[in-house]
Structure 1
Amino acid sequence: MLLARASIERKITFSMLYLIVVGFGLFSLTQLKIDLFPDIQFPVIGIITFYEGVGPADIEKLVTRPLEESVAATKHVKKVNSTSSQGSSIILLQFDWGTDIDQAEMDVRKRIDLVRDLLPEEASEPLVFPFDPSLQPIMFLGLSSSSLGPAELRKLADERLEAMLERVDGVASAVTQGGLERQINVKLNPLQLAAFQLSPLDVVGALQREASLQPAGRIETHSQNLSLRILSEYYSLDDIQSVVVKYVKGVPVYLKDVAEIEDGFKERFGDARTNFNPGVVIQVNKQSDANTVLTCRRVRQTLSDIEAILPEGTSLGIVFDASEFIMRSIYNLRNSALQAFLMSFLVLLLFLANFRGSLIMAVSIPVAILATFPVMHLAHLTLNIVTMAGLALAVGMLVDNAIVVLENIYRYHESGTPLSQAADVATSEVGLAITASTLTTISVFVPVLFVPGIAGELFSDMVVVMCFSLGASLLIALTLIPLLSHQFLKIRPEGAASRWSRRIREAQAHLSGKYLRILHWCLGHRKKTLLIAGLLLVISIALTATLGGEFLPRTDQNLIIVRVDREIGTPLEETEKTVLDLENIVREEVPELENLYVLFGAGEGITAIFTGTASYTIFLRIRLSPMEERKRSQFEIQDALRKRLQEVPGIRFEFIEPTGFTTERPIEVKLLGPNLLQNRQLAEQIKASLEKIPGLVDVSLNVRESTPELQIIPERERLNDFKLSVSQVAHIISTAFQGKVAALYREGADEYNIFVQLDRRFRRQKEAIANLLIPTPAGKLIPLGQLAQIREEAGPASIYRENQQRMISVGCNLSGIDLSSAVAKIRQVLQETPIPSDVQVLIGGTAQDQQEAFYYLRIAFIAAVLLVYMVMASQFESLVDPFIIFFTIPLAFIGVGFMLFLTQTPLSVMSLVGIVMLVGIVVNNGIVLVDYTNQLRRRGMPLHQAVVEAARIRMRPVLMTALTTILAMVPLALELGAGSENWSAMARSVIGGMTTSTLLTLVIVPVLYTIVEELESRIVKSWRRWRSG
């Protein structure tokens, strides 16, 4: 082969080329970003709109539906989900995978602009944002103090610490939760307002007028020009108290006459606790393109600067650091790759009994990996658990081509051929075979690149890494291996070999003899041989059918997230009492606890998507010690917590998987239809049935019991009599009970809101609503009770919609049951449940993702088989020979079934990708056998002799390549470290498939080759007789 001869003749040139590759590889490695997962662009856009003080039904009618109807017409929208809750509307648009999300975001904004004028004026501007896992904080920092109170801690975090953290390279924002925020509260007394014939709007208007900035012009003196500036802002509480709200017969009515002015705090709607103590928590969010590990490292470095400015007795500690699990996962995969490299080297040494030869082959692995890093850098790939897994999985395969080449060189030189000639001839002899083998392996990965959905996005980076590393290994086998063999390989004569080498050769000769006896028997009993293989395949398929299935393996991330809900309408103070009870449970049940962060009450801004906007909601983030330091897994601890939480009255809870890939639960039975009451009753019936299925846990409805509300129904005729509008009345009610920022209070460089609202003791009285005075244009004040009906009713806590239909779902988590089995049992329940004709029932959640992924991976498997056939047909210039080799694929399925059954590993996306990989890997041994058999036939050797001789000669490289691939997968299959659960199913599939395929290929391929050749010979002879006759 020209490449081999060129590398031997121009060894300096090729040596320099490989040094350049190694140099660029090392440089590129230092430039790669480190993250947990690939940079996946999720095709989801969120729209969040706030309309404070408005109930879910009105939010749905006034905000959600107009927005839904408009944005649903955006191109490539696959699904529209919305949640209308108290004071907020959240819409999630799911687009087809592969959609340009930046363009989609622009299109969504345009669609919103079309209906913006139809939304209430008081509603906030709809916030549009692409859904991104980077929205989740990368760090939580807990601020506590023995000398500062909650207000001082909050001020310290808001004014100093946030700014210092946001200056860190890679940090997008730092958001403070918990503590108290200073605010000037104007607490209105409705009795005093009534006495002076005033309304809350009068107070707001007076504060705004007194604080308004008016242009005052300029004054010119003989020496200079001066601007006139009126300082009308509020600088003291006396300034506020002295504001004149109204004159009664020439006597001023001051603000202090109708309200209490307090230098206080914002009313709490949510709070945070860390490690069983009240405190302030700072959430650190990274920029979307920032390196998570480097950003967390820089934040840690900044903490030392922050500690220097903190008051005595105050500390800032790390509650959660996302980079810790990332680095543990990366280190685990790195160690797996190193272990795979070591085992591959030992296999080579064992078979060749030649240290130099083994070292030459071992060099090919790091060089091929280093050659991949520049490609990763140019393709903007990150160093994450997916790309690292690709490299770890590839380690055993990278040496395959080198093994075939070097073993052939070794054999030629051992038989007396000069080393320079052996390196050239031996490489040329197997060059086409290993090229075809590499192309078949690469070709099976190509269809995976076209798999849509999260599975395709996850594996695309791994596929790119494996394809380029395998391509590099082929060039190394054709150039670097002959070059190094020519320069360094030495083989001792039989008499000069060491005792260890002689023993290895004797063992190999003994193994070869045993193998040839088995092969001769199989060739003499071809029907029995094929029957045994077929029987094993049937048994394997039967075993696989018992395994069940899942989407992606559950990973122990040292983190448990629990959402707990109290009864709807529970005030924040009562919710906080429940938090203390939950903390006691965690303290008792989780000795493995490392950190605890609790957020309860309403979230703010985008955070509301993850935490909700209700005072009765609690989120616990339970950080566990590293997996290697615990006896119990994360999931065993979850089960223990679940038992204790079930004993707490008045709550419902669910455990949330911290993957960030979906906001849905493993299984969600969705009921879509117009009649909420009917859907609710049906959902309760289904829920009761699901709770009886073992393994389904945390079964609950997405809707809660109705929330109590006071409904104000305006009497329009009365309003018309007083020349009032509904919006005017609503504005007054909103100001009185929800409150309004009227102006700003300035203290030095700081500004604080002046907040006008009824005193809390009056807001707790229902009759205060009926007694609220409404001013008329004629100057009269009319009690609200005379202008509207006021009644207490129950309304929905939240209204969920999917694709513009009201939706109620029954969701559950799984414990001790696989996803496929659970879905099968749920389908059986649904078949036995009467479903009204106007109700559509869907099974969603992760189960739907699994179904889609399995469907597309089956298509990818078929495409991989076709591509492999095309490559082999091109190599052999035959349409028949590839069919012989194709029988190695079902031989691999035998091992897959037995391995997954013995390890009780359910079928998942990972195991299916492993099966797709096997299509390209297992045929390689068949290619080597058939290719050499054809070469011997072309040299004139008889059929049976050629088959046996090819099998004898190729047995050693076949076993070597198989063992290196199998042993390289063992560290991943054993789940020895953090994040290894992700890859164990794939590794086990490959190990099982390679084991049976290799052992059976050595006998089945020769048997099939002889059958096909004899059959072809008979057909040719019959054709010739027919033509001549």
Structure 2
Amino acid sequence: MLNKIIRYFLENRVITILILVLVVVWGISTSPFNWHGGIIPRNPIPVDAIPDIGDNQQIVATEWMGRSPKDIQDQITYPLTTSLLGIPGVKSIRSSSMFGMSFIYIIFDDNIEFYWSRSRILEKLNSLPPGTLPEGVQPALGPDATALGQIYWYTLEGRDPATGKPTGGWNAEELRTIQDYYVKYSLSAAEGVSEVASAGGFVKEYQVELNPDAMRAFNVSVMDIMGAIKKSNLDIGAETMEINKVEYLIHGLGYIKDVSDLEKAVVTVRDGVPVRISDVAFVNIGPGTRRGGLDKEGVEAVGGVVIARYGSNPLEVINNVKDKIKEMAPGLPQKTLPDGTVSKITVVPFYDRTGLIKETIGTLETSLSHEILICIIVIIVLVLNLRASVVIASMLPIAVLSTFIIMRYTGIAANIVALSGIAIAIGVMVDVGVVFVESIIRYMEMPENRGIRKGKAMVNLIYKAVSEVSGAIATAMITTIVSFLPVFAMEAQEGKMFSPLAYTKTYALASAFVLGLILLPTLSYILFSVRIDSKRIRKVLNYILIAAGVLLSVLYSNIPALGLTAVGLNNLLAHRWKKPGISNYINIGIALVVATYFLAEEWLPMGPQKGIIVNLLFVTGCIAIILALLWLLVIYYERILRWCLNNRWKFMLLPIATILCGILIWKRIGQEFMPSLNEGSFLLMPTSMPHTGIEQNLNYIEALDKRLAAIPEVETAIGKWGRVNSALDPAPAQMFENTINYRPEYILNEDGKRERFKVNRKGEYLLRNGGTYNPADGFRLIPADSLIPDRKGDYFRQWRPEIKNTDDIWQQIVNVTHLPGLTSAPKLQPIEARLVMLSTGMRAPMGLKIYGPDLETIEQSGKAIEQALKDVPSVIPSSVFYDRAVGAPYLEIKLNRDNMARYGVNVEDLQEILSAAVGGMILTKTVEGRERFPVRLRYARELRDNPEALSMLLVPTATGAQIPLKELADIEYARGAQMIQSENTFLVGYVIFDKKQGKAEVDVVKEATKVIEGKIQNGELKLTKGVSYKFAGNYEQQERATARLMIVVPLALLIVLLVLYFQFKTLTASLIHFSGVFVAFAGGFILLWLYGQDWFMNFSLAGVNMRDLFQMHTINLSVAVWVGFIALFGVATDDGVLMGTYIHHVFLEKDPQTRHAIREAVVTAGLKRVRPAAMTTATTLIALLPVLTSTGKGADIMVPMAIPTFGGMLIQSMTMFVVPVFQCWWREGLLKKEEKARNAAENSSPGK
């Protein structure tokens, strides 16, 4: 089958070229990168920073304002939870009851369709039995979005339309009104938006404040005033009237339009005189009660958050939102201030995921381009044939474009993980081309084929060469793909995170293999058969090369373009060389220099500040060292292999010792769930005490933002206290969220790539105002628009010299945010925090859940465990905090039922009066154009702001008399719940903590478990009967993922072994070729261990520490690292398969019958395979160097995946000796058995 495909496309080269053009155009069209394809229409893959790894979750939110958490829990949360538990596919239900709000989180199995689950919830809510919930309470299903949906946060600010500078001039009430009734609805209309939630400011209210003295004088009750307000706000329609043959619509206008309309409403009539509301109450406009707000760098702000719909393309949604903002901007209100300044409402974003997405995708784009450049360099060096190098190198971009096409039409979004699948597949993709082309070159160099370069003979030559190795490559590809089955078998968060990688890696390998069969033979035929025999044409072409090189270098100041000139000159002078091959080698050298220069200029591993020469030397050195070692291996391979064959036991000590070291390290290495992605922002989430009031919370948030904004590396600091008006934000008023956007290390352009700026010969940056800035004279922040962009300039660093990484910035944040009365906060980022909070209920990635019969018991145990955890050596003591559930101060009004009976007052009437007069009751809403404002009734503040005034509240009796509240109830201070958490109806409390730097999550939890259990056993820690606890968060996820991997990884290895068995037909041969997996496994773990050793690579070159350059620190065994190992297993098997295939072919050809002949056959096969094996190892190792030094967004996930592959491939070269040694051992054993059998047969024959 494969041979037929190869021959068909090789003989029909026009079809092949058309397929090539189609793939290139289609691939550019679907590419996720911001390529400008000219006339090619764009239909890009959906793009995001990371996959949506949140739970399959729906939220039911219920508002019952003014009610305590206990009332919410008993009357709303508990009955709703018990009703929702029976929905099909529900895995668990968590709930949170707080002041005035209930949130219920229904987690479904991952196989339940998102919108199907929403319809089932709505069915259940609509069919609740009467009386399940209090009258007038209506639960609502949250937005059709996930934890990753919050993609765009903004504030509304008054700014000068001409200069864009802040002007102010708008109060919090005006801004909130504009947000609620203009901006919110405009942005909600953008395609892909699920919800726009408002935050900050004051909701405008008409407030009717009762005057008890006037009420007593007019003998008017609260109920009378309530009725009057409700009846004073009504428009009606009374059909139509025809006058003079014209139809008029009758419209009765009765809506409240201003304060005077409300004041004139009639309550009753006394002695023929109307008693108006203005006679018994004061009417004014004021702010509504709020449970959340925004602060921008110490100033109260108003804004909102845009939430993307489930399954939408985040980048596309953000662009749609920005288009809407541009569209509505001219129509936003503006005013002229007293000083003549014009202040126009402007939407100012403070969290925009566009930057993160573009930087993350940019990191991957850069890594891919670096890998392709490196592969080109390695191929040129190892093949020493420019034509062959072009054939192999051209396969990479075409295979990547093919992968984009498949991703686009299989629904795989482009994100850091999906594109990493392509990045880690590059080495294997190159191997396909290397093996095919190396086989073609080998055939061309055979004596009988030296004159063949064109026609049918060339077609047959290429066909034989490619078909000879196609079966082995197919097996190698299958084993590589099969080795990724464990990733497909992952579940929950890790499955959602890494399954895109498994798909894209599979797509990339399949594309490379198919293109290797279809396209590579045709390209090889074209490039190897092209010969320009006319000296005149060659001379003209060389002159064109010389002119093009000079022209390009002058026009674009591009030094590498002179490489074209050098090639042209060398070709013109080729006749002067005594040996004919010298000119070719010079061209190869020129190509190497140009490619290496390009790589060094783009990669800059030593840093931009070191200049191109230092970076070029470092890049050249890295490549030269690896290639030199592998070339030495190729040169001395025969000698080393013969020694290994003659000293098998001595040699086997090396791989055995390596494997034992790997196993020992594996057993001792720390474990964690997943490395966090650098989002370019931090989210600081401290909390205040449960009794803290709103005024103090405002002071806290203002102080935090001012301190954070003073850090030079911080670009903006926006603080939120409490919650925004969305079901996705279940925060109490005592919780703070400070979004801290720090500046990227270097100024970036709009595509997320570092931008260069003009410098003079002294290294000083030239400014637009004519000045200069020298970083050596001291750190200064220079805005990007003050610098002059220059493609040949230097990158501009925005961090102080002492700030080396984001951990240093976080430490600066921690240092300035210690405030009395505030708890510490774990290190979190916006996306990470949303995922953690909505998936676990906790505000930290590590924590402990405590279950108990009641809140007091849970509180007591939680505080005890909090103290115990502070003694755990690997835990940061200041990070340990039990989220207080009890501790909010209450004023409890205890009704005296005997006195109430005596005065004829029932409970419902009294409670309604209390609710209206003290808390305030919204009775109606005004209709003012598109704006709607509530009308609230309550007592004046001075009559309800202390217990004594409250006790004098007048209550009407059955006789019409009014008596003070103190005659009917007692007012007492009490301590109660601030928030009530539950899981599957059982009460729960959370203790959160954070681990020390370099510690593994699993090790920390094991140590914490040991400390807690030890304290329980010695009586130091006492837990109340009925209390249980368990560790949750990332640890829980890691335990589940590890348990799954321990099943599926061995299963995948077994499947790989079966594939090998189908190829080689014997179990022994399959095990021999499988042996490389164990060696590579050990190499990966050894490198992981070395990364955590302070002495390893701890030296400097040109002032740059190598540990810092390669970001060497303790790497724990996470799911990302396991994915790296799984990728390694497939690659490690490939060399063994190809080596075994060559040995098998040699044995079929020679059929050795002596020990010496067997060893010679093994050596012959090994010598055939050693060069392509060295090439594949070199490309894999060197291609990973840019990934290992990458520091951009997304590197946090790529690096842990790359380390096992790099370490494994370093050691895996041993397979080039292990497989031949085992093969020789096995075949010699078979020969001995045959000799014994033959001798036994001869001895037992009748003639003996």
Q: Same fold by TM (over 0.5)? A: yes
Aligned length: 1024
Q: Distance in 1 between matches of 2:139 and 2:953?
A: 30
Which residue among 2, 13, 28 is the counterpart of 2:30? Answer: 28
Task: Tell me whether 1:331 sits opposite 2:449 in the alignment.
Answer: no
Residue 638, structure 1, aligned to residue 826, structure 2: no
Distance 1:506 1:153 in 2: 67
Alignment deviations for residues 631-665 of structure 1 (CA, whole Å, 9 cap, x no partner): 34333322333244345345554443322433142
Alignment of structure 1 residues 185-264 onto 2, 5 Å: 185-213=207-235, 216=238, 223=245, 226=248, 228-264=250-286
How far has the Cα of 1:794 moved from its partner? 0.7
CA contact (8 A) 1:895 1:993 kept: yes
Question: Alpha-carbon deviations, 1:76-102, whole Å to 9, x = none?
Answer: 322222211111121212222222232
2:984 is equivalent to residue 769 of structure 1: no
Contact 2:688–2:821 (CA<8 Å) still a contact in 1? Answer: no
* Aligned residue among 704, 727, 736 for 1:618: 736
Letter of the aligned partner of 1:984 in structure 2?
A: V
Match of 1:349 in 2: 380
Q: What is the letter of the counterpart of residue 880 of structure 1?
A: T
Aligned equivalent of 2:780? none
1:370 corresponds to which of 383, 401, 404: 401
Letter in 2 for 1:843: F
Structure 1 position 278 matched with structure 2 position 262: no
Q: Identify the range of structure 1 (646-655 vs 244-253) with the bigger mean alpha-carbon deviation.
A: 646-655
Structure 1 residue 300 displacement after superposition: 4.1
Higher relative contact order (Cα pairs below 8 Å, separated by 6+ residues) = 1
Q: CA deviation at 1:335?
A: 0.5
Correspondence for 2:12: 10
Instruction: Identify unmatched segments of 5+ residues in structure 1.
Output: none
* Deviation by residue 1:434-491 (Cα, 9 ceiling, x = unmatched): 0000011111123321211111111111211111221121122223222222221279
Establish whether residue 528 from structure 1 lines up as the match of residue 650 from structure 2: yes
* 1:318 aligned partner: 349
Residue by residue, what CA displacement relative to the aligned partner does 1:123-158 show, whole Å, maximum 9, x if unpaired? 332434556034314242442343333333333334
Report 1:32-51 matches (<5 A).
32-38=45-51, 42-51=55-64
Q: Is the 8 A contact 2:298 2:701 kept in 1?
A: no
Of the structure 1 ranges 333-342 and 937-946, higher mean CA displacement relative to structure 2 is found in 937-946
Asked whether the equivalents of residues 341 and 396 of structure 1 are also in contact (C-alpha less than 8 Å), the reply is no
Q: 1:458 to 1:652 in 2, by over 3 A?
A: closer
Q: Which residue of 1 aligns with 2:412?
A: 381
Matched position secondary structure for 1:123: coil
Find 1:914's aligned residue among 1109, 1124, 1145: 1124
Pairing partner for 1:741 from 910, 922, 930:
922
CA drift at 1:914: 0.9
Among 136, 140, 162, the alignment partner of 2:184 is 162
Equivalent position SS for 2:690: coil
Give the secondary structure class of the aligned counterpart of 1:565: coil
Whole-Å separation in 1 of the counterparts to 2:114 and 2:673? 25
TM-score with structure 1 length normalisation?
Answer: 0.94
Number of the residue aligned with 1:58: 71
Q: 2:864 aligns with which of 685, 708, 711?
A: 685
* TM-score w.r.t. length of structure 2: 0.78
* RMSD of equivalent CA atoms: 2.9
Residue in 2 aligned with 1:19? Answer: 21
Q: CA 1:599/1:252 → structure 2, altered by over 3 Å: closer, same or farther? A: same
2:1219 is equivalent to residue 1005 of structure 1: yes
The residue that corresponds to 1:891 in the other structure is: 1079
Q: Distance in 2 between matches of 1:83 and 1:267?
A: 21
Q: Cα offset for 1:403?
A: 0.8
**Which residue of structure 2 lines up, in the alignment, with residue 877 of structure 1?**
1065
Contact 1:270/1:600 (<8 A) preserved = yes
Matched, 1:854 2:1037: no
8 Å contact from structure 1 (residues 274, 281) kept in 2: no
**1:657 is matched with which residue: 829, 839, 856?**
829
Answer yes or no: is the 8 Å Cα contact 2:236–2:253 preserved in 1.
no
- 1:791 aligned onto 2:972: yes
C-alpha distance after superposition, 1:490-519 (max 9, x if no partner): 799996322774999999986534111111
Aligned residue number for residue 582 of structure 2: 498
Task: Provide the rounded CA distance (Å) in 2 between the counterparts of 1:944 and 1:720.
Answer: 109
CA contact (8 A) 1:966 1:995 kept: yes
Shift of the 587–715 alpha-carbon distance from structure 1 to 2, 3 Å rule, reads: same
Asked if the contact 2:156/2:175 (under 8 Å) is kept, the reply is no
Whether the 8 Å contact between 2:849 and 2:1029 is mirrored in structure 1 is yes
1:866–1:567 CA distance, 2 compared to 1 (3 A):
same
Give the distance between the partners of 1:537 and 1:382, measured in 2 at CA.
Answer: 38
- The secondary structure found in structure 2 opposite 1:211 is coil
Asked if residue 833 in structure 1 is aligned to residue 1015 in structure 2, the reply is yes
- Bigger shift: 291-300 or 929-938? 291-300
- SS of the counterpart of 1:512? helix
Tell me, in whole angstroms, the C-alpha distance in 1 between the residues paired with 2:628 and 2:987. 76
Shift in Å at residue 341 of structure 1?
0.4
Cα distance change of structure 1 residues 984 and 651 upon mapping to structure 2, 3 Å threshold: closer
CA distance in 1, matches of 2:209, 2:909: 21
Letter in 1 for 2:849: K
Pair 1:148-2:150 in alignment: no
Measure how far apart 1:408 and its partner are. 0.9
User: Contact (CA 8 Å) 1:141, 1:283: kept in 2 or not?
Assistant: no
- Bigger shift: residues 309-318 or 235-244: 309-318
Bigger mean CA offset, 207-216 vs 921-930: 207-216
Residues 233 and 548 of structure 1, relative CA distance in 2, 3 Å threshold: same
- Cα 1:507–1:6, aligned 2, differ >3 Å: closer, same or farther? farther
* SS at 1:887 equivalent: helix
CA contact (8 A) 1:293 1:323 kept: yes
One-letter amino acid of the structure 1 residue matched with residue 511 of structure 2: A
1:319 and 1:423 map into 2 onto residues whose CA distance is: 59
Report the AA paired with residue 16 of structure 1.
Answer: L
Deviations 1:969-1006 (A, max 9, x none): 22222233122111101111111111111x11011111
Q: Is residue 139–residue 322 contact of structure 1 (8 Å, CA) maintained in 2?
A: no
Match of 2:726 in 1: 605
> How far did residue 608 of structure 1 move?
3.3
Checking the alignment, whether the CA contact within 8 Å between 2:672 and 2:1001 is kept in structure 1 is: yes
The verdict on how the C-alpha distance between 1:248 and 1:361 changes in structure 2, with shifts beyond 3 A counting, is: same
Distance 1:604 1:748, change over 3 A: closer
**Compared CA separation, residues 748 and 161, structure 1 to 2 (3 A):** closer
Distance 1:981 1:747, change over 3 A: closer
Query: What's the CA shift string for 1:864-883, capped at 9, x where partnerless?
Result: 10221121111112222110
Give me the whole-angstrom Cα distance separating, in 1, the residues matched to 2:1239 and 2:227: 111
Q: Is the 8 A contact 1:320 1:595 kept in 2?
A: no
CA shift in 2, pair 1:627/1:699, >3 Å: farther
Q: Hey, what does 2:558 align to over in structure 1?
A: none
Cα distance change of structure 1 residues 726 and 580 upon mapping to structure 2, 3 Å threshold: same
1:580 to 1:215, Cα distance in 2 relative to 1, 3 A: closer
| Contact residue 83 and residue 124 of structure 2 kept, 8 A | yes
Match of 1:111 among 113, 117, 124: 124
Q: Per-residue displacement from partner, 1:183-240 (whole Å, max 9, x unpaired)?
A: 2211112343344343333212111123345665665667456554432222343322
8 A Cα contact 1:898 1:992, kept in partner: yes
> Secondary structure at 2:911's aligned position in 1?
helix
Q: Aligned-pair distance for 1:908?
A: 0.8
Output one character per residue of 1:892-935: Cα deviation in whole Å (capped at 9) or x when no partner. 02211121122232111111011111221101000011111011
Query: 1:429-468 to 2 correspondence within 5 Å?
Result: 429-468=468-507
Contact 1:134/1:288 (CA < 8 Å) preserved in 2? no
Query: Which of 689, 695, 699 is 1:577 aligned to?
Result: 699
C-alpha distance in structure 1 between counterparts of 2:89 and 2:1237, whole Å: 58
- Greater mean alpha carbon deviation, residues 1008-1017 or residues 845-854: 1008-1017
Unaligned runs of 5+ in 2: 32-41, 159-166, 335-341, 532-576, 590-626, 747-797, 1017-1022, 1093-1114, 1153-1157
**What is the distance in 2 between the residues matched to 1:372 and 1:479?**
16
- Residue 695 of structure 1 and its aligned partner are, at CA, apart by 4.4
Provide closer, same or farther for how the CA distance between residues 668 and 508 of structure 1 changes in structure 2, counting only shifts above 3 A.
closer
Q: Deviations over 1:719-749 (max 9, x none)?
A: 5566654333322221112222223445566
Instruction: Name the stretch that deviates more: 413-422 or 979-988.
Output: 413-422
Alpha carbons of structure 1 residues 224 and 323: separation in structure 2 relative to 1, 3 Å:
closer
